[in-house]
Amino acid sequence: MSKAFVLVNTNLGSEAEVESELMTIEGIIGVYEVYGVYDLVVEVEAESQQKLKEIIFSRIRTLKHVRSTLTLTTVS
């Protein structure tokens, strides 16, 4: 099982909309609003590194109001 935390910057005022969209994506097990440099922290889990990559690149990063992401892949 592969797991990552994706730090997400959204367009101003669109955090709730992006959060709702993220929660519909298979493999996302948590979305947390945070204060600071990033707007959301997304917890992603998949059966392989390849599937994890697909979720992040094809599903999260392509959402309309997502400006940028930083991915932290867990090692244990």
pLDDT value of residue 25: 98
Which has the closest alpha carbon to 43: 19, 67, 62?
19
Sheet holding 2-10, edge to edge: 28-33, 40-46, 2-10, 66-73
What fold is seen in the domain 2-68? Alpha-Beta Plaits (3.30.70)
Supply the mean pLDDT for the chain: 97
Whether pLDDT at 76 is above 90: no
The model carries a pTM of 0.94
pLDDT value of residue 56: 97
Give the Å distances, CA to CA, from 45 to 16, 23, 24, 57, 61. 21, 13, 14, 14, 16
